[in-house]
């Protein structure tokens, strides 16, 4: 694999980073592997924009709850490396892939520190998965301090995660720019996710309800704004409740897209976030709405 350098230890990763010239730009895409077109679009952006590029592949146990699928989460390192080799070859740029040989390479023995972004970690996904985002921010902090990238790339499918990581980087004064990248979808509109492989063909069709509902909610809010130049919060809440009045919905909410605060009558930047259960698989999606100049 001429364009891929596989790194398995923290020591080798640190040495690799030290060997990069001081004035060279470094891009980084953290993943849990099982790479799909969404992941590859992030890595492609990194390759276009940076001289040196890192990808991590690590299934992080800290972000899985006790009843979640850590053991069964797909681990496809061989296939992932092949996809990365093909992508790197198109740009004739090497990619350093950090795939730790053990959990201890990220979390040393007796590790007892947790990075938590309070309040943001307790809403939406955090209500049902109270330890999830603390596990995410803890591992992302570890990886950012090891790789020390100038830019790190995250997909906006996990919009709450994206906002939380941006907040963590601001709060801890980390010298990394967080780039949120647009959602990559199947031709039918389903947001690409490693969890989609759990779905049958019928399940994938059923999952399109999430995208269709988000589009309905967006149209409702835009029409309201066109008529009144402001938002009726009670009507928006009623509409969202009506659209998600089914046991398979975990939530469907409208938030300020800059910080996930509750929207106000004058809000112009909105994100609608939803989560549903299809064939025992939890699926997330969202849609952003800009009312500026609308």
Place 72 in a pLDDT band, splitting at 50, 70 and 90: confident
Q: Where in the sequence of the chain do the CATH 3.40.50.620 domains occur?
A: 4-181
Neighbours of 218 (CB within 10 A): 16
Task: Assess whether 39 carries a catalytic annotation.
Answer: yes
pLDDT for position 231: 96
pLDDT for position 292: 92
3-state secondary structure of 137: helix
Q: Which two tokens stand for residue 290?
A: 């800009």
Q: Where in the sequence of the chain do the CATH 3.30.1300.10 domains occur?
A: 194-290
Calpha distance 47→94 (Å, rounded): 9
4-181 carries CATH number 3.40.50.620: yes
- CA 118, 236, 212, 241 dihedral sign is positive
Going by C-alpha positions, the residue among 223, 280, 221, 281 that lies closest to residue 256 is: 221
Q: What is the pLDDT of residues 107-160, one digit of tens each?
A: 999 999 999 999 999 999 999 999 999 999 999 999 999 999 999 999 999 999
What number is the average pLDDT over the span 43-62? 97
Longest dimension (CA), the chain: 60
3-state secondary structure of 56: strand
Going by C-alpha positions, the residue among 132, 147, 43, 168 that lies closest to residue 100 is: 147
Q: Report the share of the chain in percent with pLDDT over 70.
A: 100
Calpha distance 41→184 (Å, rounded): 8
In sequence order, what are the beta bridge partners of 254? 272
pLDDT for position 66: 85
* Residue 267 DSSP label: -
- Beta-carbon contacts of residue 254 (< 8 Å; ≥ 6 apart): 217, 221, 236, 240, 263, 270, 271, 272
Q: What is the pLDDT of residues 256-276, one digit of tens each?
A: 999 999 999 999 999 999 999
Calpha distance 258→292 (Å, rounded): 14
Name the active-site residue from 36, 39, 237, 250.
Answer: 39
Going by C-alpha positions, the residue among 49, 239, 55, 262 that lies closest to residue 143 is: 55
pLDDT for position 1: 65
CA distances from 240 to 157, 210, 264, 276 (A): 19, 12, 15, 14
Q: Which two tokens stand for residue 27?
A: 């891009």
The backbone region for 140, taken as left when phi is positive above 0, alpha when psi lies in -120 to 50, beta otherwise, is alpha
Calpha distance 207→279 (Å, rounded): 9
CA angle, residues 228, 231, 233, in degrees to nearest 5: 140
194-290 carries CATH number 3.40.47.10: no
pLDDT for position 2: 79
Continuous segment of H or E residues that includes residue 119: none
- CA 190, 193, 196, 197 dihedral sign is positive
Calpha distance 107→230 (Å, rounded): 48
Instruction: Burial-class residue 102 by CB neighbours within 10 Å (0-12, 13-18, 19+).
Output: exposed
pLDDT for position 103: 96
């Amino acid at each position: 694999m001429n364009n891929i350098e596989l790194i398995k230890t923290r020591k080798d990763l640190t040495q690799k980073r030290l060997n990069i010239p001081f004035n060279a730009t470094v891009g980084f895409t953290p993943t849990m592997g099982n790479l799909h077109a969404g992941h590859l679009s992030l890595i492609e952006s990194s390759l276009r924009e940076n001289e040196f590029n890192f990808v991590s592949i690590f299934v992080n146990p800290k972000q899985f709850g006790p009843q979640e699928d850590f053991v069964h989460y797909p681990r496809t390192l061989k296939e992932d490396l092949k996809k990365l080799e093909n992508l790197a070859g198109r740009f004739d740029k090497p990619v350093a892939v950090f795939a730790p040989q053990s959990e201890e390479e990220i979390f040393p023995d007796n590790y007892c520190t947790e990075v938590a972004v309070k309040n943001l970690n307790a809403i939406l996904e955090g209500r049902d998965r109270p330890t999830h985002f603390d596990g995410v921010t803890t591992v992302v902090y570890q990886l950012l301090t090891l790789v020390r990238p100038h830019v790190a790339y995250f997909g906006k499918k996990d919009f709450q995660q994206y906002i939380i990581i941006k907040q963590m980087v601001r709060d801890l004064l980390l010298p990394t720019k967080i780039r949120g990248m647009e959602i990559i979808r199947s031709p039918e509109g389903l947001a690409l996710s490693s969890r989609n492989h759990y779905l049958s063909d019928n399940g994938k069709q059923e999952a399109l309800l999430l995208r269709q509902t988000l589009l309905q909610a967006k149209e409702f809010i835009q029409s309201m704004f066109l008529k009144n130049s402001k938002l009726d919060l009670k009507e928006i809440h009623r509409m969202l409740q009506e659209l998600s009045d089914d046991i398979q919905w975990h939530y469907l909410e409208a938030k300020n897209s800059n910080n996930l605060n509750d929207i106000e009558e004058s809000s112009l930047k909105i994100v609608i976030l939803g989560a549903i259960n299809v064939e025992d698989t939890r699926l997330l999606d969202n849609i952003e709405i800009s009312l500026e100049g609308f």
